[in-house]
């Protein structure tokens, strides 16, 4: 895509999607984005995988590549060893270098899935800031880079101030902005990178890089940040009762990932469609209209879950987990699910474990899962016709499952009424 006169169009697109929190001089930024620009996003390896929160700005980077700009994905092998002061507590345990190195590689592969490295002339570039940071001794860093940083300005950063007012901050984390500033300087030198993007909590660190480029090279550059998402009810975005929603399928299964998005509240779903999908204005407007006319159909949530599961995992995974979601509630054949999809989809349910040598009755099993608190309540469910095993109705109070009822020899599904599910696992 030609970038001639595209700067304003790009920023208008990002603003419509709710993806702009702050920018440097917007007029100058538009002029910069009217021509091909190299732009970078940094991600620190603080875990073996990136999560939904990282995805917000990563997709901004992808959108910029679609507008003809060259993206740089930086995975912080050195900054990951130090820690950003926006973290929760000072008493953090630093990860071993070998662990961080492994996480860098895993995250590099994840990030690479969202960018086009073969595009011409704006193919994506992957870098690790450890490659240049390792060349600096403590004395060289202080003499060549540290001298350009004002302690007064460093102390004024919001992330630093909040830590000082809370539990204090170590020199190690205080120096994080020096390392991030060095990253921007190095990418400016090596790749003529003139735009850094990030979450709004990174504004102070990014601006430090702009100042360093100006002082060391006499150059100018830009930054753009995106808001940190919060759900409309005030709860933290990307969190569930079982923890963070990761992009790694071994840490958050495709089924659990799909379910997170399918359960998006109505108040959030249109905004999330703008942030996380590549549907255009007309398509999202049509979904919003459909949602207003028939909210019970949950078309917006289904579209969001399908689009994101396809993007992060694959279209085949999206099809499998959609089928699994139907099968769990009796709208498709449960026995047709492959073992991996079945077990991952049941993993988050209330559960109990048994031995096949002594299988309790359906009533006892339901009580054991905690779905009901007494046998009398479970018997009442059977009498009222709301008891199911693998979506087959249970009509006798004394019904006991057989070995053959355990799908793939591992698990059986209990259902109370239309919505309450539980799993029985074989030890």
Q: Quick one: pLDDT at residue 12?
A: 97
Q: Domain check: are 44 and 81 in the same one?
A: yes
Query: Are 36 and 122 a contacting pair, CB within 8 Å?
Result: yes
The pLDDT tens digits of the residues spanning 277-327 come to: 999 999 999 999 999 999 889 999 999 999 999 999 999 999 999 999 999
What's the CA gap between 385 and 395, in Å, rounded? Answer: 7
Domain-ending residue, one of 330, 345, 360: 345
Q: Domain check: are 215 and 89 in the same one?
A: yes
The chain-wide mean pLDDT, for the chain, equals 92
Q: Quick one: pLDDT at residue 87?
A: 52
Q: Domain check: are 261 and 173 in the same one?
A: no
Q: What percent of the chain has pLDDT over 90?
A: 77
Q: Domain check: are 238 and 222 in the same one?
A: no
Domain-ending residue, one of 172, 207, 226: 226
The pLDDT tens digits of the residues spanning 333-364 come to: 998 999 999 998 998 899 999 999 999 999 99
Q: Domain check: are 248 and 397 in the same one?
A: no
State how many domains the chain has. Answer: 3
Q: Residue 231: is it exposed, middle or buried by C-beta count within 10 angstroms (0-12/13-18/19+)?
A: middle
Let me know if residue 148 belongs to a domain: yes
* Token pair of 201 as six digits: 């909590």
Three-class SS state of 58: helix
- Residue 165's domain comprises 7-226
Q: Domain check: are 148 and 44 in the same one?
A: yes
Let me know if residue 1 belongs to a domain: no
Q: Domain check: are 97 and 197 in the same one?
A: yes
Let me know if residue 257 belongs to a domain: yes
* Token pair of 14 as six digits: 């990002």
Q: Domain check: are 45 and 157 in the same one?
A: yes
Q: Domain check: are 110 and 212 in the same one?
A: yes
Judge whether residue 395 has pLDDT over 80. Answer: yes
Could you tell me the CATH number of the domain that includes residue 95?
A: 3.40.50.620
Query: Are 415 and 376 a contacting pair, CB within 8 Å?
Result: no
Q: Quick one: pLDDT at residue 88?
A: 52
Q: Domain check: are 46 and 154 in the same one?
A: yes
Let me know if residue 53 belongs to a domain: yes
Cis before 254? omega within 30: no
The pLDDT tens digits of the residues spanning 78-105 come to: 988 886 665 554 445 678 889 999 999 9
**Residue 184: enclosing H or E segment and its boundaries?**
helix 176-191
CB atoms within 10 A of CB 343: 18
Radius of gyration of the chain (CA): 26
Domain-ending residue, one of 295, 330, 345: 345
What's the CA gap between 408 and 418, in Å, rounded? Answer: 24
Q: Residue 14: is it exposed, middle or buried by C-beta count within 10 angstroms (0-12/13-18/19+)?
A: buried
Let me know if residue 2 belongs to a domain: no
Q: Domain check: are 233 and 113 in the same one?
A: no
Query: Which stretches within 34-96 are classed as H helix?
Result: 52-66, 79-82
Give the strand pairing for 193-199 and 38-43. Answer: parallel
* pTM score, whole prediction: 0.90
Q: Domain check: are 296 and 393 in the same one?
A: no
Let me know if residue 398 belongs to a domain: yes
Let me know if residue 280 belongs to a domain: yes
The pLDDT tens digits of the residues spanning 136-191 come to: 999 999 999 999 988 888 888 877 888 788 778 888 888 888 999 999 999 999 99
Query: Which stretches within 193-338 are classed as H helix?
Result: 203-217, 254-262, 266-276, 281-293, 299-312, 315-328
* Token pair of 369 as six digits: 């899962």
Is pLDDT larger for residue 235 or for residue 222?
222
């Amino acid at each position: 895509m030609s970038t001639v006169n595209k700067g304003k169009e790009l920023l208008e697109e990002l603003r419509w999607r709710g993806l702009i929190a702050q920018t440097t001089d917007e007029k100058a930024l538009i002029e910069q984005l009217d021509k091909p620009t190299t732009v970078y996003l940094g991600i620190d390896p603080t875990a073996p995988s990136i999560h939904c929160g990282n995805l917000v700005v990563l997709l901004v980077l992808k959108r910029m590549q679609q507008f003809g700009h060259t993206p740089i994905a930086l995975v912080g092998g050195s900054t990951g060893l130090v820690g950003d002061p926006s973290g929760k507590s000072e008493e953090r345990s630093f990860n071993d270098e070998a662990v961080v190195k492994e996480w860098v590689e895993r995250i590099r592969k994840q990030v690479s899935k969202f960018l086009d490295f073969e595009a011409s002339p704006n193919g994506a570039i992957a870098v690790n800031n450890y490659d240049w940071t390792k060349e600096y001794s403590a004395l060289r860093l202080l003499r060549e880079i540290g001298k350009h940083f004002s302690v007064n300005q460093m102390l004024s950063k919001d992330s630093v101030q909040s830590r000082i007012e809370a539990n204090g901050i170590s020199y190690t984390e205080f120096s994080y902005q020096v390392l991030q500033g060095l990253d921007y300087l190095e990418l400016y030198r090596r790749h003529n990178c003139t735009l850094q993007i990030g979450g709004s909590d990174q504004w102070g660190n990014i601006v430090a890089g702009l100042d360093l480029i100006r002082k060391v090279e006499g150059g100018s550059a830009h930054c753009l940040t995106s808001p940190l998402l919060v759900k409309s009810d005030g709860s933290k975005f990307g969190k569930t009762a079982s923890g963070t929603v990761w992009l790694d399928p071994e840490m958050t299964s495709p089924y659990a990932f799909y379910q997170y998005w399918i359960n998006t509240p109505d108040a959030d779903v249109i905004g999330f469609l703008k942030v996380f999908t590549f549907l255009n204005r007309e398509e999202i407007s049509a979904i919003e209209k459909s949602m207003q006319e028939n909210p019970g159909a949950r078309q917006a949530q289904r579209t969001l879950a399908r689009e994101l599961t396809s993007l992060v995992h694959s279209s085949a995974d999206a099809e499998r987990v959609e089928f699994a979601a139907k099968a769990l509630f009796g709208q498709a054949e449960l026995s047709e699910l492959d073992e991996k999809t079945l077990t991952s989809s049941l993993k988050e349910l209330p559960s109990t474990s048994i031995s096949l040598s002594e299988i309790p009755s359906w009533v006892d099993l339901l009580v054991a899962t905690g779905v009901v608190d007494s046998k009398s309540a479970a018997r009442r469910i059977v009498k009222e016709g709301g008891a199911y095993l693998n979506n087959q109705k249970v009509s006798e109070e004394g019904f006991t499952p057989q070995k053959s009822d355990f799908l793939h020899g591992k698990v059986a599904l209990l259902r109370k009424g239309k919505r309450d599910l539980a799993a029985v696992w074989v030890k």
